[in-house]
Chain A
Amino acid sequence: MFQEIPPGLCFALSGVLFTIGAIGAITRKNVIVIFMCIELMLNAANLAFIASGNALSSMDGAVFVFFVMTVAAVEAAVGLAIFVMIFRLHGTVNADDASLLKG
């Protein structure tokens, strides 16, 4: 009764989540929303790792996800600090206003 989930489906799900996150990251204007979509992409990748760790009977997937989460947490902290700075400078969190890299 407790059979294993086929890894292909998990990967498919991971792909769907990733694509939705990518489209959201490309299309939205608010930088915080973009950031959240990026977190979604990271989650999709985590899911893929866990799925393959499960399919290959290895704990390496889980360990890797552990570190990914750590990094995501740090990234969230620093990134949001930067967004706060941008808000202070520009008065807005519109992604289109931060185009100083234009060259």
Chain B
Amino acid sequence: MADYIWLIPAFPALGFLINGFLGNRISKSFAAWIACLAIFLSFLTSVAIICEFLQMPPTARIFEMDIYNWIASGEFSVPIGFRIDALSVIMCLVVTGVGFLIHVYSIGYMHGDPGFRRFFIYMNLFVFMMLLLVTGNNLLLMFVGWEGVGLCSYLLIGFWYEKDSASNAGKKAFIVNRVGDFGFLMGIFLLFATLGAQGVWTLKFGEIQQNAHLLNGHLVAIITLLFFVGAVGKSAQIPLYVWLPDAMEGPTPVSSLIHAATMVTAGVYMIARLNFLYSMAPATMFVVAIIGVLTAFFAASIGFAQYDIKRVLAYSTISQLGFMFVAMGVGAYAAGIFHLMTHAFFKGLLFLGAGSVMHAMSGELDMRNMGGLRKKTPVTYWTFFIACLAIAGIPGFSGFFSKDEILWKAFSSSQGHMLIWLLAAVTAGMTAFYMFRLFFGTFHGECRASEEVKHHIHESPRVMTIPLMILAFLSLVGGYVGIPHILGGGNCIEQFLAPVFGPTTHLASTGSFDIISAAWASAGAAGHDGSLELALMVLSVIIALIGISIAYVFYVKNPALPQRFTAKCARLYHVVHNKYFVDELYDLIFVRGTLKAGGFLLKAVDDGMIEGLVNGTAATMKRAGDKLRRIETGYVQEYAIGIILGAIVVVGYLIVAPMF
């Protein structure tokens, strides 16, 4: 099986090529099924690999394979190679599994769109790039995937490119991402140079991990900080999150796949992949955690005052990504990946559900014009409800286990801090509130839509509802692979990921280096603090229930209450509703600033110096010519004088020269 790991990215690439070249000659549905088949085959391969993994001892679960020697320069070589270990295989399963469901959903959603084929071409390309990102065995290949998903994000956000807002959103996403990518590149360069200074010329993850101890602490802190800048851009944290809400201009399956389940999690994956470096730099980890929790809180607050259902979900994504970074920041890498997985399930489902609602309401996006959809779109209603319960962290659903793991580690780990836990817990409550605000507003109450929209409300076709149901099932049971010890489970996912994160979990628990004893130590610590963990768990559930009930009161029992509230705090509402004017601030500083700098350079440097230099040379030549022209007077005798002058010089030379 190890020889077949290259098939995982190869299938979507093949699908992309087939659809790309033959697209116009094959029928639309055939193109769509090719795309879906490609992803499904990748999914099957990933399943086969994980099955094989489970039969192997934990330390042997690494398949690495180099296909082609891309860069070979003396000692340094960068191959095109793939590495499947516990981390990659989980990512592959998430990407291909959720991706497959979304592809199937898109067949129904994009039905009738003139760019139907183009959509599947771009989607396959995206999955290929994402798989390259997660299976690449060196930083350069990972960066290729990183850039590739950014490109596909741009292409898909601006899918309906005739709309100005869509193409602008695509540009915004790409440019803001670029800022992050710059940091990422600087990180690669610095890592390469500093390792090289120690004599190790490589960018492969395995070799970096073996030689990481050669680098000194400050250097590692800077390198990891630079990589984190890249993660901030790709995963939409403060201050580079501004592209994600605008990215909702793209079709809803795009929002679901790229901006919920997979691309935005690339930053989290990157930190997980480089966990050995991050564990050497506690300062950076602290920065990561702080930014994560601040982003989570900030984005959740914005979600309170948005009416566009996709925007609410976008801010919710930013907030949940903040949670994942909190996990990474406190050293709980496995918990972060776990939450990544469950988030893919329920957030993907939420977006697909929103798409289904839009499909039913003929494209309506504003929550204030919806309502009363419970009876008319039952499948959408119940699956959306399950997803909301999952994201709120109600026990039994997947979100509960992953979020709670993060909260516990934020509180208890050696890198964690009580304030981080506090803010994260408050944010969890806020999440519950605004998600149920969305839910109640969209599905409950009177239907506030216009008559003809009401007339057309219908449930989505089966090709759209079946993926919804599958994702709802996963949102329900997906968490059971991570049941923590104190509740009787074995926390399988953490153990599964231990070989990847293992040598560093000592930071999170006790301080021993041995993998086995670390696992026991965490179990023991859990037993020691078991009551504390249980208490915190109960506390977070209570907070979630409070959030849900407040939403219920505001939006179901007493719909007039929100109006009175916003009237009383009008100014605060205004600020929050306008997303704290961050976009306007960026426009003022960066956009106008760049334009002004460009204008200055145009006038001072281009017109003044360069044109002046060129024109000045020409003018000087002209003036010199004018002066020299006076020799040509037109009078022949004066020319004769010139000849005689020349003769004087020559004869003079001939006379004088023999003397020396």
Contacts and interface: CB of A to CB of B under 8 A. Distances in A.
Interface string B627-658: 00100111111001100100000000000000
A26 interface: yes
B640 A26 contact: yes
B118 to A, nearest CB: 67
A22 B634 CA distance: 19
B636 A103 contact: no
Contacts of A95: 635-637
A25 B637 contact: yes
Contact of A103 (B632, B637, B641): B632
Interface in A30-68: 34
A61 to B, nearest CB: 20
A90 interface: no
Contact of A26 (B629, B634, B641): B641
Interface in B247-301: none
B631 to A, nearest CB: 9
A27 B641 CA distance: 10
A3 interface: no
B279 to A, nearest CB: 83
A12 interface: no
Contact of B644 (A22, A98, A102, A103): A22
B634 A100 contact: yes
Interface string A74-100: 000000000000000000000110111
Nearest to B644: A22
A58 B633 CA distance: 44
Contacts of A5: none
A103 B640 contact: no
A103 B626 CA distance: 10
B635 A103 contact: no
Contacts of B634: 98-103
Contacts of A34: 636-637
A98 B637 CA distance: 11
A101 B632 contact: yes
Contacts of A101: 632, 634, 636
Contact of A96 (B632, B635, B640, B644): B635
Interface centre among B632, B633, B636 (most CB of A within 10 A): B636
Interface in B600-647: 629, 632-637, 640-641, 644
Nearest to A23: B644
A103 B641 CA distance: 17
Contacts of B637: 25-27, 34, 95
B650 to A, nearest CB: 15
A34 B640 CA distance: 11
Nearest to A25: B640
Contacts of A27: 637
A72 B629 CA distance: 33
Which interface residue of A26, A34, A95 has the most chain B CB atoms within 10 A? A26
A103 to B, nearest CB: 4
Nearest to A38: B640
A56 B635 CA distance: 41
Contacts of A99: 633-635
A95 B637 CA distance: 8
A25 B629 CA distance: 24
Nearest to B643: A22
A101 B632 CA distance: 7
Contacts of A102: 632-634
Contacts of B636: 34, 95, 98, 101
B454 to A, nearest CB: 90
B462 to A, nearest CB: 92
A79 to B, nearest CB: 12
Nearest to A101: B634
A61 B407 CA distance: 117
Contacts of B633: 99, 102
B642 to A, nearest CB: 11
B629 to A, nearest CB: 6
A34 B639 CA distance: 13
Interface string B468-487: 00000000000000000000
A82 to B, nearest CB: 12
Contacts of A103: 629, 632, 634
A12 to B, nearest CB: 15
A95 B644 CA distance: 18
Contacts of B644: 22, 26
Contacts of A26: 637, 640-641, 644
Contacts of B635: 95-96, 99
A101 B636 CA distance: 9
Nearest to A31: B636
A22 B635 CA distance: 16
Contacts of A22: 640, 644
A89 to B, nearest CB: 15
Nearest to B641: A26
24 contacts: A22-B640, A25-B637, A25-B640, A26-B637, A26-B640, A27-B637, A34-B636, A95-B635, A95-B636, A95-B637, A98-B634, A98-B636, A99-B633, A99-B634, A99-B635, A100-B634, A101-B634, A101-B636, A102-B632, A102-B633, A102-B634, A103-B629, A103-B632, A103-B634
Interface of B: 629, 632-637, 640-641, 644
Given A103-B629, A103-B632, 6 more contacts: A22-B644, A34-B636, A34-B637, A95-B635, A96-B635, A101-B632
4 smallest beta-carbon distances between A and B, as pairs: A102-B634, A99-B634, A103-B632, A101-B634
